[in-house]
Amino acid sequence: MIGRHAAAGRRTALTALGILALTGITSAAAAEPPKPVPGSTAAQTVGADRPSAALLRALQRDLGLTPGQAAERLVNEAEAGVRAGRLRSALGERFAGAWLRGATSAELTVATTRAADVATIRAQGAKAAVVKRSLSQLQAVKEKLDTAATRVTTRDTPVWYVDVPANRVVVEAVRQSAATAFIKAAGLQGQDVGVRVSSARPRLLADIVGGDAYYIETTARCSIGFSVTKGTQQGFASAGHCGDSGDKTTGYNKADQGTFKASTFPGKDMSWVAVNTEWTATPDVKGEGGEKTEITGSVQALVGASVCRSGSTTGWHCGTVQQHDTSVDYSQGTVDGVTKTSVCAEPGDSGGPYVSGSQAQGVTSGGSGDCTSGGTTYYQPVNPILKDFGLVLKTASAEALPPGQQDNAVQGAWAAGRVYEAGDTVTHSGVRYLCLQTHQAQGVWSPSATPALWQKL
């Protein structure tokens, strides 16, 4: 299934194809959702206090929630992101990660390497975990595995990542001996690197058959991710393995659509397609039955947060964020920095959007399993796509960007269109601010107006 583009005259709306579609909706499920939990500044900033009915239904179906729990979860996740960001700033190098638990994401845990920080963490309404390694130390261990992967084969150790709740780096391997050899090659023998034996081998989710979504050189099929702009040029972001720079695309209706302007794979799994004048970028992520979720930004979700994705093969499905900063070895090459999720996907879903609430998270890269028996998928985070290619995410709340404000190379002064990482500092109206959550700055998200994203220094 693929949502059809809405036509306006001779123009066709370019829509991120699908998010949170739901089949077999009963009359009760199709009723208006309950009023969401009243939103605070954080929930209002990221739109968590006004979710679409389709989003709530998908969360109910895939995470086993009641309507009230689904609405409450979205607000709690927005609030937790702010508290985690503030604590990351306060703890500095002692910060060892943050994650969510519970049906409504009501329990935020923040880890530190110093017991004296427990009171500070609890003061922010979070549960404290005192651990041995900081997040930066765990990332340094994973980087050694990344480096080793450039020298040795990782076919039998296809996944490795920083497991924040377990405070260790984990290697997933088809057998213990393969993991042991990989760890030794990285110079990490004797260190606390976890091993998880699994027969799953992630594969890319492109499909060399006809169907819907968009087509590359009339043969391969992938799914549109998010609408973007670069200056006055409109287009969309998708997965890098879907096509090479210069490849031509056609739309769901086989009409000429655009050209891959840039594509990175392996290493990362990202691309963007510039479309012709018959297609128009919108902030919508469209699913089954024509229902839409509007994208309002790209604030990165915490581990444990709910996330939903769409694809032209399987429609809308939801799950949770399991790990950030994951490396995956596909048969075509290794991809670093993807996010592991419990959401299912199948061939043809590649490139499709992942959304947490109304915040864009990434585009489908690959996975294992399917949507009948369940599976694991990985997405390429969207903020690196925007930053690497100099793109601006199309959002419902975006203001027109003055010339020069889309330049990701601008230093010092806050600028709409730039991608900011947690921990970055900027100047706005003569005041210094610290970024609390990774995101691309929207025109309406100035630091002085969004304490959910920025902390005054």
Catalytic residues: 241, 269, 350
With residues binned 3-state (H G I as helix, E B as strand, rest as coil), the percentages for the chain, rounded to 5, are 20, 35, 45
Q: Which residues neighbour 39 within 8 Å (Cβ) at sequence distance 6 or greater?
A: 48, 49, 50, 75, 78
Q: Amino acid identity, residue 256? A: D
Q: What secondary structure letter does DSSP report for 24?
A: S
CA distances for 309 relative to 55, 105, 135, 360, angstroms: 10, 19, 28, 10
Q: Beginning with the edge strand found earlier in the chain, give each strand of the sheet holding 95-101 in spatial order.
A: 95-101, 107-112, 127-130
Beta partners for residue 359, in sequence order: 297, 356
**Length of the chain (residues):** 457
> How many angstroms from the chain centroid is the CA of residue 213?
20
Beta partners for residue 98, in sequence order: 110
Cα Rg of the chain, angstroms: 21
Instruction: Pick the closest to residue 354 from 395, 295, 394 (CA basis).
Output: 295
Handedness of CA 418, 421, 424, 429 (dihedral sign): positive
In this structure, the dihedral spanned by the alpha carbons of residues 164, 126, 421 and 186, taken in order and rounded to 10 degrees, is -10
Instruction: Pick the closest to residue 367 from 382, 358, 380 (CA basis).
Output: 380
- Dist CA 142 CA 240 (whole Å): 23
Q: Report whether 112 contacts 84 (CB < 8 A).
A: no
CA distances for 399 relative to 92, 295, 393, 405, 434, angstroms: 34, 14, 11, 11, 23
- Please state whether the peptide bond connecting residue 447 to the residue before it is cis, i.e. omega within 30 degrees of 0: no
